[in-house]
Amino acid sequence: MHRSSRQGTNLQSVKWQNRAAVLETLWRFQPLSRRDLARRTDLTPATLTNIVAEFLDAGIVQETGFGEQRTGRRPTMLAFVPDCYFLLGVNLSRTEISIGLFDMRLNALHVLVHPIAVRIGDGPVDTLLHLIRQAVAESGLDWERIIAIGISAPGPLSGQEGMIYAPPHFPDWSYLPLGPLVQQAFNVPAWLENDANANALAEHWLGAGRAFNNFVYVENHSGLGSGIVLNGQLFTGSTGVAAEVGHTSIDHHGPRCACGNYGCVEMYASGPAIVERVRQAHAAGRRTLLTDWLGDALDGLTFDHVIDASHQDDPLSIEVLCEACRALGQGLVNAINLVDPEAIILGHKLHRFRDDCLESLREVIRQRAIPQAAARLNIVVTQLPEPAAATGAACRALSGLLQDPHLLLERTPAVG
Amino acid sequence: MHRSSRQGTNLQSVKWQNRAAVLETLWRFQPLSRRDLARRTDLTPATLTNIVAEFLDAGIVQETGFGEQRTGRRPTMLAFVPDCYFLLGVNLSRTEISIGLFDMRLNALHVLVHPIAVRIGDGPVDTLLHLIRQAVAESGLDWERIIAIGISAPGPLSGQEGMIYAPPHFPDWSYLPLGPLVQQAFNVPAWLENDANANALAEHWLGAGRAFNNFVYVENHSGLGSGIVLNGQLFTGSTGVAAEVGHTSIDHHGPRCACGNYGCVEMYASGPAIVERVRQAHAAGRRTLLTDWLGDALDGLTFDHVIDASHQDDPLSIEVLCEACRALGQGLVNAINLVDPEAIILGHKLHRFRDDCLESLREVIRQRAIPQAAARLNIVVTQLPEPAAATGAACRALSGLLQDPHLLLERTPAVG
DNA sequence: AGTTTTATATTACTATTTTATCAAATTGAT
DNA sequence: ATCAATTTGATAAAATAGTAATATAAAACT
């Protein structure tokens, strides 16, 4: 009601906050003993005996044996029961729909990939629901055991409303309340999230961000996406569009971007921008290995070709990618000076860049970011397992679950 | 110990969190009834009866009469006892030390201003302690009733350690643990904060930010300072230097800034930058009203002169200030696309800008920020009462107090 | 075998919020 | 005037969740 006032804490919220804290800690650092959990959450051992007993009763946590101990009684280690429930991760990309079934540890059990252009049934939602049903059927899992669904898609969208707004090039996905639609269709809680945000979250849970609670994630996949994690939580801003590093400007007199801004990082560092730079240089007479592969017209040149060529020591490709990295680095410098994160995580496709290209990104940050912020900054590369996109989506579902542990503990059977 | 793990909530923290929430809510929205407070904090009326009784007992809150009510029993309104305790706000600027004594509603009772260059005693700390003592003596207040001290200073500094690092041009203030020194000297809790951050907080408590929990504050006073408030809290980042809008770049090929970055907003929009632009234009033959005031050499031209001239419709001054506003606007666009705030608050000296200059800032934001973020964005001007700088510092002290209410409720008498 | 150390379980307890109920105060209709 | 309705605020018993103290278990070391 009064959003601007500060909320108090009642006993119920204490209970659920503590269960959420314990679950999250266990997930991220398992196996842990009760004692470990008590230390990490700042709760007492007695409280942890109680809370853990609830989790054991609910069958979501198990004792996995004994830990090492220099002296004294050996701790009983605890871990999630990986297959107590299963998570569905759905990623909508510009080219395909990927659906993954995951256990509670985010291990992929089954993956289904379908071209986004190929429709099944009446509309995009029908297609999606059909594919989800198909994926679950193929996996052989009982719907009863699927506890949450995460959906990631390129923006713009509203995670809170679960609504896709107006994705470029996909008019029939416009203004669809995808979250509620999926949730109602399967009677399973569902969350919709920006794809880069979902991946940022995945880095936090099981990738390069495990050690950090405050970081900026960027990926250069289809467009330049990014996400910010603050205090271990996705930071989405007041209207849900925060963290658009790709649409910060590094040159206010630069070319106009589709977003309305001028000189966006995306204009210099995204895949299409990189391809365009190579084409321009080639048209201006620069020689490149890429002509050996694609002919003199560079037919069908892609971002991947440029990355591949750079690994074959093609000077033009290396030069263009380094320049893109410097542009991205400059965008990150601005983000660092505003957000002062513990780490920068470089996501998909950046992980395939040559080291010397990434080094020029690091160099820009070292030289240009505020020294106090740059000094302790970690710049690391993604460590997400495949299928990365669906994992990110499933991770959003996991995050939703662990933040609302009654979804796990006080579960009423679902209806497929 | 394990900073990366999520903290649990114990019952003690519930108690103090709730008291903090109630105090903060009451401070910001007083007068409120117990019922109002219950609604706003999401606690039960019974709990509020109890908590308010504690505050009444401690003498920090009082009943101020009855509120209006359509029907039913009239609510008893509650408010802070303004003079139950007093706060000290100390601002160190590049030119002077201002010390203000404030009541709990941040009304200024007494203000003392002293040139920073004039020393009293051995060193800068001696001078400061002497001036604080003097200010309190002049105010006639008993040291016993001074409950907290806030100190604001230009960065770089560490609020957590209460340490000033290396302020440009003030070598003898370097690496002074000013917070602890002042706290020990007077046995009163003291907090050190970046001046722009303190002012951002003040806007949140009693200025243009009262209605917002997420905003970016910028001021163009001595340098281009800024602060970010997220979820009603000052956001300081992982090393404490977050929110440096002035040191984000709008042109990666721009001139080098002292901070190491290139093309910082500060290089285009700060007072010195504006003065320099006017000088350059004048040297290039542009006519300006300023020569009427300062002679043809523009001796002693200041930022204030330029602002004054703009109000006298001097075309050059207007042009330069508008250009500065566009540069600042571009920096804010980047901040908006990263942070997605509810509001931008324009602080000191910007409040003296001509409307058409600020309008060009607004225009840049409207045209360039991500539409979804820009649509609901409020761009407002500071509403801090004078003495603004000392008020900001006092506000930091107030914020520290209300976040740790046992400083108010379980107070042991101080020793001057 | 006995001591020390560490982990976990148990029990009784404490602090705080909460539920339920009641009293007080006001409006307005009858 | 009286009564019903409405809202605020007070009170006391109840519920809840975490906690301190203590006991027990299990291992290492001497």
pLDDT, tens only, B281-316:
999 999 999 999 999 999 999 999 999 999 999 999
How many CB atoms sit inside 10 A of residue B12's CB?
8
User: Max CA-CA distance within chain A?
Assistant: 74
Q: Helices marked H in B237-384 — which ranges? A: 265-269, 271-283, 290-294, 303-311, 315-339, 355-368, 371-375
Check whether B413 has a pLDDT greater than 60: no
Give the model's confidence band at A298: pLDDT under 50 very low, under 70 low, under 90 confident, else very high. very high
Cβ partners under 8 Å of residue A243, min gap 6? A196, A197, A200, A216, A226, A227, A228, A235, A236, A237, B338, B340
In chain A, positions 132-171, which contact chain B (CB-CB < 8 Å)? 156, 165
**CA distance linking residue A401 with residue B5, whole number of Å:** 17
A409 touches strand D (CB under 7 A): no
Looking at residue B136, the DSSP 8-state letter turns out to be H
CA-wise closest residue to B309 among B332, B293, B330:
B293
**CA distance linking residue A64 with residue A26, whole number of Å:** 13
Check whether A72 has a pLDDT greater than 90: no
Q: What percent of chain A has pLDDT over 90?
A: 74
**In the predicted model, what is the mean pLDDT of residues B233-256?**
95
Residue B163 phi/psi, 5-degree rounding, is -115, 130
Q: Return the residue of A nearest to B234 by Cα.
A: A339
| B39 compared with A274, residue with greater pLDDT | A274
- Identify the pLDDT of residue B397: 97
Give the model's confidence band at A224: pLDDT under 50 very low, under 70 low, under 90 confident, else very high. very high
Give the model's confidence band at B416: pLDDT under 50 very low, under 70 low, under 90 confident, else very high. very low
Strands B215-221 and B343-346: parallel
Nearest chain B CA: its distance from A43 CA (Å): 6
Nearest chain A CA: its distance from B330 CA (Å): 7
**In the predicted model, what is the mean pLDDT of residues B87-98?**
94
**Average model confidence (pLDDT) across chain B:** 92
**In the predicted model, what is the mean pLDDT of residues B325-346?**
98
Give the model's confidence band at A3: pLDDT under 50 very low, under 70 low, under 90 confident, else very high. low
A97 — contact with chain B (CB < 8 Å)? no
- Identify the pLDDT of residue A8: 87
- Identify the pLDDT of residue B1: 42
Secondary structure of residue A18 in the 3-state scheme: helix
- Identify the pLDDT of residue B120: 85
Q: What digits encode the pLDDT tens for the residues B172-188?
A: 888 999 999 999 999 99
- Identify the pLDDT of residue A4: 62
Check whether A414 has a pLDDT greater than 50: no
Check whether A372 has a pLDDT greater than 50: yes
Q: Return the residue of A nearest to B341 by Cα.
A: A238
Check whether A318 has a pLDDT greater than 70: yes
Element (H, E) at A390: helix A388-403
CA-wise closest residue to A213 among A345, A324, A112, A393:
A345
A14 touches strand D (CB under 7 A): yes
Angle at B284 between CA B280 and CA B289, to 5 degrees: 75
- Identify the pLDDT of residue A1: 42
**CA distance linking residue B279 with residue A153, whole number of Å:** 52
Give the model's confidence band at B412: pLDDT under 50 very low, under 70 low, under 90 confident, else very high. low
- Identify the pLDDT of residue B182: 96
- Identify the pLDDT of residue B4: 61
**In the predicted model, what is the mean pLDDT of residues B195-224?**
95
User: Max CA-CA distance within chain B?
Assistant: 74
Contact predicate B347/B221, CB 8 Å: yes
Check whether A218 has a pLDDT greater than 80: yes
Angle at A82 between CA A78 and CA A84, to 5 degrees: 105
A20 — contact with chain B (CB < 8 Å)? yes
Domains of chain A, CATH where assigned: 11-80 (1.10.10.10), 86-200+387-409 (3.30.420.40), 210-381 (3.30.420.40)
Element (H, E) at B138: helix B124-139
| Chain A residues touching residue B208 (CB < 8 angstroms) | none
- Identify the pLDDT of residue A170: 77
Check whether A118 has a pLDDT greater than 70: yes
**In the predicted model, what is the mean pLDDT of residues B90-95?**
92
A214 — contact with chain B (CB < 8 Å)? yes
Residue-wise burial string across B275-294, b where 16 or more C-beta atoms lie within 10 A, e elsewhere? bebbeebbeeeeebbbeebb
Check whether B88 has a pLDDT greater than 80: yes
B257 — contact with chain A (CB < 8 Å)? no
Check whether A374 has a pLDDT greater than 60: yes
